[in-house]
Amino acid sequence: MKEFTDRPVSLAVPRLIGCTSVIVVSKKGVWANHIWDAPIFRPEQDINEETYESTGKWLTPGFGFDLEVVEQFPRQAQLTFFQEHALQRLHTRYDPPDDEHISGLDDLRKAGGMFDEASEPRIFMFSPYVSIDDEKDPNYGVEHPQGLNAAWDRPGNPEPRADEGVAPFNEQIRAELRGIFGAETQIDTVLYAPDLDEDPEDVSFNLHRGRALIQFQPGDLSQCDPPSKAKWRIWFEGQTEPQDTVEWDPMDDPSQWCDPSAGTKRLRLRQAACKPSTSLALPTLTRTTGWETPTGSSCASTATVSQCNMGACVPTSSCASWVATATPTSEPPPPPTQTEAPPQPTAPLEVNPVQCHDEKDFPGHADINPREQTIKAAVFCISEDLGYMGPTSARGPPVHLRTTDDSGTNYDWTIMWDAGCTVEGGLQSLKDPLGEDKNTCAEVMRGNYDKCPGNGGVGGRTKVGCLIYDFTGGRG
């Protein structure tokens, strides 16, 4: 979830390969969720650990590794799990709270909230097509298949399904959203084909399939004619033009004018310049004495000028030239000599070796799940408001996020600027510190785990240019 204020905002939906995301955007902000394909829409099949083939049995719906194996398809348990984790989570956040589910929609719909009626919310449902497993099918592996239904509409797949005999799962989600936003609410469904042939998790962020991107641009304080607008836009997968765009007059409270350092004084000046009032407060005209005659001189000639305001003028006399009447007794002292500070050395734009944390500093730490570390690194690097850092960033707090897995284990992610360090160009992108689509934030954070195999998964830190990327696992 991101609020639209005085800074540009981007929110990305991580790569989906069968899951569903509900995205809500308004003039005040954006909210998105992630509804897992399994175990929320369907239960996992039990797999033989030696042959990697299905045993014909099922796992009871749930998160974790020690799920009960049952003989029969757990239809009722699956319906209950879907209602709890797909439908109820649209309304409220988890109890106890989860860092990855900041808020439900009920609170955001209240008067003055992010999605109240005045904010004009729009809803998008990003859902998968039915899956095609037959390599001879013309739609197999195709990004834009023809003639396919949504997986969780009807008809759809897979079989068996827990929603047989009741409303299809997708329709249950739409009905729940209309219960929150109103019966006539438009819900735009955008379908995608799950891409399972490539790297499913796409840790390097090289693939566009199964992704969505929402961007917000605040108004420009310096633009008056035409008046600047605030704007949001949304893309899905490989679109070169946004799926939708909305513009509006920027709000003043909270400010949606892009000048975070200006404060209210600059905003008032902008309002006065770009939104003129019908009544103009005029300054008071006063008589001034002009320039004073300097010591050791006398006035040789005078000049008269008029200070005017809306037709009312006040004459002012001042000396136009002087003649010297005294000789200076001493020459003025020379200006002080300024010594320039020596330039600081520029750090090379390269990835330095990982400095692994000492496991002794984390006595009794929890086990780190490698897959969770990869996923949460990707989530941090694309979902946080990561822009650029420079030398002055060392004076402020670092960028930090703590995520927690289902077992309660903490995964801490931090990016900071090395104090006193400089790089060519002055700034570095936090997501792409070398600016070359490799050694990205996610790859560096993953390396802080992979390249420290002997410390129990507690991670390490890597300096890239002047940026320090730190992953710490298992800290209490």
Total number of domains constituting the chain: 2
Question: In which band, very low, low, confident or very high, does the pLDDT at 475 lie, cut at 50, 70 and 90?
Answer: confident
| 441 domain-assigned | yes
Average pLDDT rounded to a whole number, residues 263-290? 43
Q: Are residues 252 and 361 in the same domain?
A: no
Q: Are residues 367 and 259 in the same domain?
A: no
Q: Are residues 132 and 17 in the same domain?
A: yes
| 45 domain-assigned | yes
What residue numbers bound the domain in which 125 lies?
A: 2-267
Q: Is 301 exposed, middle or buried (0-12, 13-18, 19+ CB in 10 A)?
A: exposed
Q: Are residues 262 and 360 in the same domain?
A: no
| 220 domain-assigned | yes
Q: Are residues 38 and 164 in the same domain?
A: yes
Q: Last residue of some domain: 250, 267, 284?
A: 267
| 289 domain-assigned | no
Q: Are residues 200 and 73 in the same domain?
A: yes
C-alpha span between 48 and 60 (Å, rounded): 16
Average pLDDT rounded to a whole number, residues 46-70? 90
pLDDT digits (tens, 9 = 90+) for 94-104: 655 666 567 89
Q: Are residues 86 and 233 in the same domain?
A: yes
Q: Last residue of some domain: 218, 238, 267?
A: 267
Average pLDDT rounded to a whole number, residues 13-29? 94
| CATH number (domain holding residue 449) | 3.30.430
Q: Are residues 15 and 159 in the same domain?
A: yes
C-alpha span between 81 and 75 (Å, rounded): 10
pLDDT digits (tens, 9 = 90+) for 228-264: 899 999 999 999 999 999 999 999 888 898 764 444 4
> For residue 455, what are the contacts with CB-CB under 8 A and spacing of at least 6?
356, 357, 358, 359
| 200 domain-assigned | yes
* Mean predicted lDDT score pLDDT of the chain: 82
Q: Are residues 63 and 185 in the same domain?
A: yes
Report the predicted TM-score, pTM, of the whole model to 2 decimal places: 0.57
Q: Are the beta carbons of 23 and 212 closer than 8 angstroms?
A: yes
Q: Are residues 361 and 263 in the same domain?
A: no
Average pLDDT rounded to a whole number, residues 406-429? 88
C-alpha span between 429 and 387 (Å, rounded): 6
| 440 domain-assigned | yes
Stated as kind and residue range, the H or E segment containing 20 is none
3-state secondary structure 235-270: EECCCCCCCEEEEECCCECCECEECCCCHHHHHHHH
pLDDT digits (tens, 9 = 90+) for 129-169: 998 888 899 999 899 999 999 999 987 777 899 998 889 99
Average pLDDT rounded to a whole number, residues 208-231? 86
Q: Is 270 exposed, middle or buried (0-12, 13-18, 19+ CB in 10 A)?
A: buried
| 247 domain-assigned | yes
Q: Last residue of some domain: 223, 247, 267?
A: 267
pLDDT digits (tens, 9 = 90+) for 162-215: 998 889 999 999 999 999 999 989 999 999 999 876 666 666 667 889 999 999
The torsion angles phi and psi of 54, rounded to 5 degrees, stand at -65, 140
| 77 domain-assigned | yes
User: Do strands 219-220 and 122-128 pair parallel, antiparallel, or not at all (unpaired)?
Assistant: unpaired
Q: Which residues of 137-153 are buried (b: 16+ CB within 10 A; e: fewer)?
A: eebeeeeebeebebbbb
